[in-house]
Amino acid sequence: MLRLQQLLLVLAVLLTSCGTVSRSVVSNEEVALPMPEQRKYEYYFLETLRLEQLERYDEAFEMLQHCLAICPSAPSAQYKMANYHFAFNEKNKAAEALFCAVEGAPDNYWYRQRLASYYQSNREYDKAIDVIEDMQKRFPKRNGELLPALVGLYGHTKQYDKVIDALTRLEVIIGKSEAISMEKVRNFLLMGNTEGAFGEVEALAAEYPDNSYYRVVLAEVYMDYGRADKVEPILLGVLAKDPDNGPAKITLAEYYKQQADTVKYLAMVDSVMMCAEVNDEVKVRMMAQLIAEDTDSTWVMGLFERAMTCPMQSARLGHLCAQYMIYLQQPEERVRPILLRMLEVEPDHVPARSQLLSYAAMRGDMEEVVSICSEGIDYSPEVLEFYYYKGVGLCYFMDRPEEALETYRQAIRQIGEGSDAQMVTDIYAEMGNLLQELGQIEESYACYESALGYNPNNFLVLNNYAYLLAEKERDLEKAEQMSRLAIEAEPDNATYLDTYAWVLYKLHRYEEALAYAERAVAADEQLGDVLYEHVGDIYHGLGNTAQALYYWRKAINIQREEGVVDKNLEKKIKRIK
């Protein structure tokens, strides 16, 4: 029974996906049985069907075995048994059962169809063809279903002439169509019969004389297979009746390109780009090709600018135009209108808005930075960069820290599994710095922890977090470890060296602190009053009041020049005096 229980996992799909299951019934195709055996067979077979409907496949299998014990050659039972063997991946046994079913009921369409499918899945294409060709004779009314299968099988076996014959017969049943005609064309060409291909497309164009599309297709086939002399008259004829026919213009442009007629080619490209009937994808491909061919940039830019005046379906053409202009190092005043045009069409186009943001930042226009980011958040709330730069602008350039803090909090609500880890850690870091300045120390700690959770090697966060802990004289061992990681990564960074010296000072490791403080001064004497005050404090800790006073005075002189004097520093100097 254990083996049969596997059916619960695989047989349900097989039986429900096969369209022939519900058609397997006890009928006059069964072999003749004495009445008592016939009734028993019918009982067990109907039980098989009932149990399968209840998905009790192990019990159904047992009922089916009873059927075959009564009549081993019963086609319906053999057919069902084949499905079970397929479920067990016993292909040979399944094939034997199918053969038996087909032999016992030669006029059962579904049994033969299943056998053909088996051969096809087993890549025995010739055998599958034999079965379906025989089915054509037995079931001529089903040719509409059988011919597509034969087309595929003939194609697998590279019998291209038979593919064409099958498609021609299919046309008689369902009528001429582009799909069938083009498949016939493809097979004619695979046979090397270009005349046959031309004739097929010509017949299609003649069948639909009012459909210009088929005449364009005919021109394309002529152009690709050696009848270039016929291309231009056909396409010009199409354009005479329909001047805005995009496919005709595109094909004619390609024709002129093949003929190396540069003047006509560029003129037709211009016509394509100004045609409202041509979609943006085609225009983008055409312009990309011109750029790849190193076409004169002045002419390309002129074409871009004219094309951008036409109604746009998307921002794709504008995006390519902007990229090309940036590649050519065009100034902002030329690129900016293109970016704004893109945003008119697609307000959520992130690259366009990001480029505008970059221009505003380079100009130092923080009000525009904030405005661009605010609109970006409205249209693309998932893009964290807009929150980050808006917060930076509000906090450091516009003195609106509370608004910056709320912006960062909005950003945190947008963080998800797909968010960029570096941007997330930068947002948490900026939020931590801002909370520290606003005196919300516990929240600042939490933000620094979150930032390091996304990027444990963010050295700026490690430095700032360590400095805050040192200032609050909290978790100084942790602060020392974080600060050491930062200076190991950037040993000449004066800010990081100053922080490490300050942490060591708080740990009363004055000699070590002095060594790092002196390295900080040597690395950058422009750090300002805080560094000098720290050096003075370290000397004071070592008992060297003269040196302490020297550095404190340097610090307070800087403060006086800046107009803000720290009263605590004044008191330290007075106490020593």
Locate the domains of the chain by residue range. Answer: 1-122, 528-577
Q: Which pLDDT band holds residue 278 (cuts at 50, 70, 90)?
A: confident
Specify the range with the lowest mean pLDDT, choosing from 137-146, 170-179, 349-358, 363-372: 170-179
Residue range 203-220: average pLDDT?
88
Residue range 316-327: average pLDDT?
95
| Higher pLDDT pick, 112 / 576 | 112
Superfamily designation of domain 1-122? Tetratricopeptide repeat domain (1.25.40.10)
- The Cα–Cα gap between 185 and 164 comes to 9
Percentages (nearest 5) of helix, strand, coil residues in the chain:
80, 0, 20
- The Cα–Cα gap between 537 and 554 comes to 13
Q: Judge residue 468's burial from the number of C-beta atoms within 10 Å of its C-beta, 0-12 exposed, 13-18 middle, 19 or more buried.
A: buried
Query: Tens digits of per-residue pLDDT, 243-272?
Result: 989 889 999 999 999 999 999 999 999 999
Cβ burial 286-305 (10 Å sphere, 16+ → b, else e):
bbeebbeeebeeeebbebbe
Planar angle of CA 222, 224, 230, nearest 5 degrees: 25
User: What's the pLDDT at 26?
Assistant: 45
What percentage of the chain reaches a pLDDT higher than 90? 71
Three-state secondary structure call for residue 558? helix
User: What's the pLDDT at 48?
Assistant: 93
Q: Judge residue 67's burial from the number of C-beta atoms within 10 Å of its C-beta, 0-12 exposed, 13-18 middle, 19 or more buried.
A: buried
Is residue 410 pLDDT above 90, yes or no? Answer: yes
User: What's the pLDDT at 571?
Assistant: 86
Is residue 128 pLDDT above 70, yes or no? Answer: yes
Q: Which pLDDT band holds residue 577 (cuts at 50, 70, 90)?
A: low
How does the average pLDDT of the chain come out, rounded? 89
Residue range 515-542: average pLDDT?
88
The pTM score is 0.67
Instruction: Give the type of residue at 394.
Output: L
CB-based contacts of 353-356 (< 8 A; 24+ apart in sequence): 353/379, 353/380, 353/386, 354/385, 355/322, 355/326
Is residue 303 pLDDT above 80, yes or no? Answer: yes
Contact status, residue 233 vs residue 264, Cβ threshold 8 Å: no
Specify the range with the lowest mean pLDDT, choosing from 50-64, 91-105, 125-139, 552-566: 552-566
Query: Tens digits of per-residue pLDDT, 417-436?
Result: 889 999 999 999 999 999 99
Give me the half-sphere count of Cα atoms (radius 13 Å) on the Cβ side of residue 352. 27
Contact status, residue 536 vs residue 555, Cβ threshold 8 Å: yes
Is residue 375 pLDDT above 80, yes or no? Answer: yes
Q: Which pLDDT band holds residue 205 (cuts at 50, 70, 90)?
A: confident
Is residue 184 pLDDT above 80, yes or no? Answer: yes
Nearest to 423 by CA among 412, 410, 437, 432: 412
User: What's the pLDDT at 565?
Assistant: 84
Residue range 44-69: average pLDDT?
93
Q: Which pLDDT band holds residue 4 (cuts at 50, 70, 90)?
A: very low
